[in-house]
Amino acid sequence: MMNETSDQLLTARPVAESWFNRFQVVALAALTLIAVVGKFYLPRLIPNTEWLELPLLLTVYFGLMRRSPIASLFFGAFVGLAEDSLSPANIPIGMYGITKTLVGYFAASVSLRFNVESSFIRMVLCFFFYFFHAFFYWIMRRALLGQVVPFDPQETFVHGALNAVIAIPLFAMLDRMKLAGAA
Amino acid sequence: MEALLSRYRNLTVLLVVVVAQLLYLAYQVRTNRDERLIRVWAVTAVTPMAGAVETIRRNTIGFLQDYFILLDVREQNRKLKSDNDRLRLENVYFRNQLRTAEHATALTKFQAQSPSKTIAARVIGNSTVATAKAVFIDRGSTSEVEKGMAVVTPDGIVGKVVAVYPLVSQVLLITDPTFKVGVESQKNHIHGVLNCGGGKCSVEQIQNEDKLSAGEWFFTSGEDRIFPKGFPVGTAVSVQPGQGMKDVKLNLSGAPGGAEEVLVVLQGAHQAIPAAPAEEDTATKSMPAPPAESTSTEAQTTKPQTEADKIREKYDALGKEQKHEYGSYTSNVPNFNLKTPAQGTQGQASPSQAGAAVASASPAPKNPEGQSASARNGTLGSSTAPTAAARTRTTTASGPVLPLGAPRHKAAPASGQNSSPTPVPPQ
């Protein structure tokens, strides 16, 4: 009896923390929505910003901070499918879903082995995952859909670097919000 | 199996999720059918937000643009207003320059055409006395200006020099109450005195019996010993009979008070008053009437213009009465001492009346005054007599040919003309 009570006291979360977790979920969903809509709408507001992959950066951040491959891959799948739903109609739904599922899974797997608190590591990982994301998406469009689309490694390299640079302040801001603190 | 799945749980879940998406992808590709429902939901969920953002963006940007544009517009407006004011001032300046140049040109032209010796002067100031109409001009004794000289413009008279200083002179305008100018009408040369004392100019000393009509021009008569004869003064705007004298209001042709450049007449030369334009000229100009159908008879009905024409008509009439054919050897010799009916009529009138009858054969004056004058002179033939005679000859070619100006027995009204003798029938 004593042990059961002690276990309950040890495992039970305080009310404030539970509310904070729910707030985190809502905030994460809102951020995801903003990221997806931002990709959909940002080029209209600021020209020449098509290279900015806020959904990808959010997926990477979630994977790195959550350190849970299953949660991260589901989050990646959710973000990817949301992005697919706003993609052109000639691209079937699931392309971004698969890509970002893999990104989320690998980001969480990497975070289990490296110290991802370092900004440099974060920047390198962001650059790597951007390149992987773009290349894998291009492969899938060629292999699965048979669509011959160009792939410019140099341009992808530059865009990856820009996203990596953007990721540093973005991750710092998300760290302050402690959206992944429940991990 | 369970141990394997639990050991590779993450990888298994990854494979399941990826394979599920691949299958869904393959289903879409195979059926070539887009899953519209998910896209509809997504687009429906996202586009209102995007619309709101777009509206906010457009309004914000529009507001900012309008704000900065309005700032710019305000600055532009200020600049344009400044430019407009500057250009308006320049326009006034250039207009004044142009007007001055036009006046100078007109003065020079008038100076060259006028027989009087004149010198151009500029009005530089007004008199300090409010009731006196006087101005100062920039010509004085050094320019040979003397007291009493006339001051004119091409449009009309201005005044006379009343005081001469070395460099300036004072000119009393004709609008001054004390100023009188001798004037003469253009048409009937009726003399009068111009007086602008009552604020409006009028011509005095014109008898009620004098013939004067509104619109008639008045010129200087030269009788005042100031203005040479022949300078335009103005036109009569109203002519009313008054107590013994006519009340003639005059509109000055020049603007004595507004003249800026004037001419001082150093040595005046009288000019003839230009002849009044013919009344036909003042009437509406129209083409002459088309000639009537030309016949040999009508060709002879041309009105005699000279004494030779009249004598020829007389001989023609005598020859026709005596059935003489001019130029024929077999024809009898006519007696030219016989009197035609017209001559018989004229023979009863005085020589002056005969002259008047001849004058009445000339083109008839259109004014009733000419007709009344003819009546007073006892002219038997009215002004319409030549036309009536010609009409008679045209209609009755075989009948008696009446001489020009002879009264027609049938057409004569029951007036004094009925007492004229009956034309002599052909023998």
Q: B402 and B257, same structural domain? A: no
Residues B195, B183 contacting (CB under 8 angstroms): no
Beta carbons of A41 and B53 less than 8 Å apart: yes
Tokens representing A41?
């709408």
Instruction: Indicate if B125 and B198 belong to the same structural domain.
Output: yes
Does residue A6 lie within any of the structural domains? no
B327 occurs within a structural domain: yes
Burial label, B136 (beta-carbon count in 10 A; 0-12, 13-18, 19+): buried
A59-73, A128-142, B198-212: the lowest-pLDDT one: B198-212
pLDDT category of residue A124 using cuts at 50, 70 and 90: very high
pLDDT > 70? residue B425: no
Same-domain pairing of B172 and B232: yes
Q: What is the number of structural domains in chain B? A: 3
Count Cβ atoms below 10 Å from residue B311 Cβ, excluding itself: 11
Residue B76 is assigned to a structural domain of this protein: no
| Of residues A121, A106, A111, the one with CA closest to residue A56 | A106
Q: Please write the tens of the pLDDT for every residue from B92-147.
A: 889 888 887 887 787 788 777 778 888 888 888 776 555 557 788 888 888 889 88
Q: What ipTM does the predicted assembly reach? A: 0.76
Domain range for A142 is 18-177
B21 closest CB neighbour out of A36, A44, A97: A97
B52 near A CB under 8 A: no
Position B357 confidence tier, pLDDT thresholds 50, 70, 90: very low
Task: Note whether B234 and B351 are same-domain residues.
Answer: no
Is the residue at B107 inside a domain? no
How far is the alpha carbon of A1 from chain B, nearest alpha carbon, in Å? 32
pLDDT at A91 over 90: no
pLDDT of A76 > 90? The answer is yes
Q: Is position B290 within any domain?
A: no
Asked whether residue A137 carries a pLDDT value surpassing 50, the answer given is: yes
Q: Which domain holds residue B315?
A: 296-409
Q: Would you say residue A2 lies in a domain?
A: no
- The CATH number linked to B236 is 2.40.10.340
Look at A69 and B38 and tell me if their CB atoms are within 8 Å: no
Asked if A73 lies within 8 A of B54 by C-beta distance, the reply is no
B308 in the same domain as B266:
no
Residues B369, B405: one domain? yes
H or E element, residue A116: none
Question: Same domain for B269 and B399?
Answer: no
Q: At residue B368, does pLDDT exceed 50?
A: no
Asked if the model's pLDDT at residue B359 lies above 50, the reply is no
Q: Residue A67: list chain B partners with CB under 8 A.
A: none
Q: For residue range B67-87, what is the model confidence (pLDDT) as tens digits? A: 777 777 778 888 899 899 899
Q: In this model, does residue A135 exceed pLDDT 90?
A: yes
CB A82 within 8 A of CB A36: yes
pLDDT of residue A85: 83
Q: Count how many domains chain A has.
A: 1
Looking at B242, B276, B310, the residue that finishes a domain is: B276
Q: Is the minimum CB–CB distance between B37 and chain A shorter than 8 Å?
A: no
Residues B227 and B354 in one domain: no
Residues B239, B319, single domain; the answer is no
- Contact B18/A102, CB-based, under 8 Å? yes
- Mean pLDDT for the stretch of residues A141-145: 86
- pLDDT, tens digit, 9 for 90 and up, residues B160-192: 898 888 888 888 888 887 788 899 998 888 899
How far does B63 lie from chain A, in Å, by closest CA? Answer: 16
Q: Are residues B123 and B15 in the same domain?
A: no
Give the A window 140-159 contacts with B, CB below 8 Å: 144-145
Q: Do B21 and A77 touch (CB under 8 A)?
A: yes
Task: Measure the CA–CA gap between B160 and B171, rounded to whole angstroms.
Answer: 5
Mean of pLDDT values over B268-275? 80
Residue A59 lies in a domain: yes
pLDDT tens per residue, range B237-268 = 888 888 888 889 988 888 777 777 888 988 88
A92 to chain B, any CB pair closer than 8 A? The answer is yes
